[in-house]
Structure 1
Amino acid sequence: MRRMREESAPEARHGYTIRQMAAEDLSAVMLLEQASFKNPWSQDLLKRELQHEWSTILLVEEEREADGPELLGLAIFWIVHDEVHVLNVATAPKHRRRGVARAVMDEVLARGRAKRCTLATLEVRKSNEAALQLYRAFGFRPVGIRPNYYVDEGEDAVVMVLDF
């Protein structure tokens, strides 16, 4: 496996700052997960992702007047060999339709290209039309269905692939 852990300075793309998550961000990330999903990732699962060399959690932030940065969204992904696998993309409900997911996906894919990946994969809820449109806009194409992938709701996932 390739080493993924590289601390880099936060980047400001699309008017947002994108940086890697640190352990001290855990409480804010948990609030975002709970606001974004019926079945959010657990604190233990997020802690484990922070420990894996191949896993990266990117946070999207926006500066506020006096309060410091506000967490708008995140992406969790792995780079293993020559593949990027996107596990989770979340945008705070009040910040949806502002390009937050697009900005973080731009960064995820840029990091994959920088590591000379040849492929990106992800699963997305069959009913999540906004996400399906976003991923198609990046060039992802559906290649299959994972039946009952989201077990708690009994919903299928669309498997999508992007060739770099």
Structure 2
Amino acid sequence: MRRMREDSPPGPKHGFSIRQMMVEDLPAVMALEKQAFKNPWSPELLQRELQHEWSTILLVEEEVPGQGSPVLLGLAIFWIVHDEVHVLNVATAPAHRRRGVARAVMDEVLARGKARRCTLATLEVRRSNEPAIQLYRSLGFRPVGIRPNYYVDEGEDAIVMVLDF
């Protein structure tokens, strides 16, 4: 059984701030979704996720000198149900990829799961998304199956990955 690596000392080591999404963030989140995905989540779906007690949407932001408000770099949407963290969506703005944004938000997602005494984390990832697959492997996830035609619009399979805490 593969275990998640030990936590490092508390505090952000990545320089980003991470917080929960609020309804007022919807326009910025929709803009990010449209940049990051061919088939972005709809505003209605995001609003529904904000209303479920088991669902959390985390935003990754960064202060930029000269900007009035922080810049939205990425996000993660996940559920905690019983003893499982289920990651539904991880997105990084194309201009900010390869900076550790997805790793930072995934570290936070997994830390929240551990704090809630979860025993595993699951997710689906596009078979073609090699950078994401490598990130998840580096976090300790392992592939356990395939969901054929999971991404129906493109006819692409998903790899199901699991992490045991």
The answer to whether the superposition gives a TM-score over 0.5 is yes
Aligned equivalents of 2:12, 2:111: Cα separation in 1: 14
Q: How far does residue 12 in structure 1 lie from its aligned partner after superposition? A: 4.1
Identical positions, percent = 81
Which runs of no fewer than 5 residues in structure 2 stay unpaired? 1-10
Paired residue for 1:72? 73
Aligned equivalents of 1:19, 1:12: Cα separation in 2: 12
String of CA shifts for 1:50-83, please: whole Å, max 9, x gaps.
Answer: 0000000000000011222000000000000000
TM-score w.r.t. length of structure 2: 0.92
Q: Equivalences for 1:1-164 in 2 at 5 Å?
A: 12-67=12-67, 68-164=69-165
The structure with the greater share of residues assigned to strand is 1
Aligned residues: 154
Aligned equivalents of 2:47, 2:79: Cα separation in 1: 15
String of CA shifts for 1:79-111, please: whole Å, max 9, x gaps.
Answer: 000000000000000000000000000000000
Give the aligned CA root-mean-square deviation in angstroms. 0.8
Higher relative contact order (CA 8 A, sep 6+): 2
User: Which contiguous aligned blocks of 4+ residues in structure 1 show a shift greater than 2 angstroms?
Assistant: none
TM-score w.r.t. length of structure 1: 0.92
Contact 1:12/1:18, CA 8 A, preserved across alignment: no
| Equivalent position SS for 1:149 | strand
Which runs of no fewer than 5 residues in structure 1 stay unpaired? 1-10
